[in-house]
Amino acid sequence: MNTTWHALLKELDYKYASEALFKLLKVMKFPPTPADIIEKAKIEKLLNFERQEKKKIGLCRNGQILDGNAGMLPTN
């Protein structure tokens, strides 16, 4: 059974899979299935992306530079 679970979950990013598993274990009465973990991990990944984008937007609005070349003219 471990081999099957590993095959199903190996493509997930560990960070999102572990977050998903932790959150599922807190609310489910029965152990989650691989499908539950995969679905929740995808949601966690999307939420993380959304948080990062909001953070970038906030930095832009505050006038902070996001990368070392922001606002610089190219040199020839």
Question: Domain of 50?
Answer: 2-60
- Percent of the chain whose pLDDT exceeds 90: 63
pLDDT at res. 74: 55
* Phi and psi torsions of 71, nearest 5°: 80, 0
How do residues 35-53 score in pLDDT, each as one tens digit?
A: 999 999 999 999 999 988 8
| Structural domain contains residue 70 | no
| Structural domain contains residue 69 | no
How do residues 64-74 score in pLDDT, each as one tens digit?
A: 655 555 555 55
The three-state secondary structure class of 32 is coil
| Structural domain contains residue 72 | no
This model's pTM is above 0.85 = no
Count of structural domains within the chain: 1
